[in-house]
Amino acid sequence: MKKLYRLTPLILALLMLSASALAEATETPAQTEAVETEAAEADAAEAQTGEATLPDPEEVEALEAETAEAPAETAAAPVELWFDAGFALTLPGDWVSYDVADEDRASGLEYALGDGSGERYLYIYLAPTTLEDFDAVSGAIEADAALSRTGSLSFDGVDFVSFIDAAQNASCCATRWGDSLLTFCFTPQDVPDFMLTATQIMESFKAQ
């Protein structure tokens, strides 16, 4: 939708130009003759005075005001969002929430969030687990050949295991949450500024 909104002013401008060109192309001979007469009279007046007529200063200021670029939009303020599972994250104010398909929810995906571009996402998984504690979670991630454990993190007193899922191009962190495994996955993980955003989001984590 963003692309469509961005193209709208251009489309309107093209329509206005087309309408102007159409009006010029459909002038009657009488209209053309009247325009030519007015132009000739203006040329004659200029020749008599020896100089062109300049607009008033007020007209120049008004024109400059109309053509000046609009100021950049102020970035939306960050929003603290509490989730039903009992934790909160502070997200950029312009982020959106996506619907989660039933088959994805069955695999443990609870929330899909992103910046609205269709390119940067945060997936939050919450699935039942037999892993009993932090050490068990850490060991399971280290034992999975598809994952690369990168360290341990703590947010609001909750310990997480951080890891990379190269196949999904995702940077993730996981912890035991009640009887479930809570996992946050940010993708793409090879975009440095998005990883900075991911760090800021996780540092805002609050436990209820």
**Mean pLDDT of the chain, nearest integer:** 78
pLDDT band at 13 (very low <50, low <70, confident <90, very high): very low
Tell me the average pLDDT across 168-173: 96
Residue-wise pLDDT for 49-107, tens only, equals 444 445 555 665 666 666 565 555 667 899 999 999 999 999 999 999 999 999 999 99
Percent of the chain clearing pLDDT 90 (strictly above): 62
| Order of strands, sheet of 158-165, starting from the edge strand that comes earlier in the sequence | 96-98, 109-114, 121-128, 180-187, 170-177, 158-165, 147-155
- In the numeric block, the tokens 């909104």 are attached to 5
pLDDT confidence of residue 22: 34
| Nearest-angstrom CA–CA distance, 47 and 64 | 29
**Residue 157 binned pLDDT confidence (cut-offs 50, 70, 90):** very high
Q: Given pLDDT bands bounded at 50, 70 and 90, which one contains residue 18?
A: very low
Domain edges within the chain: 2-67, 79-207
pLDDT of 17 strictly over 50: no
First to last CA, the chain: 36
- Are 120 and 188 in contact, with CB atoms under 8 Å apart? yes
pLDDT score at 65: 67
Report the share of the chain in percent with pLDDT over 70. Answer: 64
What pLDDT sits at residue 23?
Answer: 40
For the segment 1-26, the average pLDDT, to the nearest whole number, is 33
Residue 10: pLDDT band with limits 50, 70, 90: very low
Short-list 202, 125, 126, CA closest to 158: 202
Is the pLDDT reported for residue 172 higher than 80? yes
Condensed to tens digits (0 to 9), the pLDDT of residues 33-49 reads: 554 555 555 555 544 44
Q: Quick one: pLDDT at residue 3?
A: 28
What pLDDT, on a 0 to 100 scale, did the predictor assign at position 24?
42
According to CATH, the topology of domain 79-207 is Protein Transport Mog1p; Chain A (3.40.1000)
Q: What does the DSSP 8-state code read for residue 162?
A: E
AA letter at 52: A
d(CA 116, CA 132): 36
Copy the structure tokens of residue 21.
């060109």
**21 or 149: whose pLDDT is higher?**
149
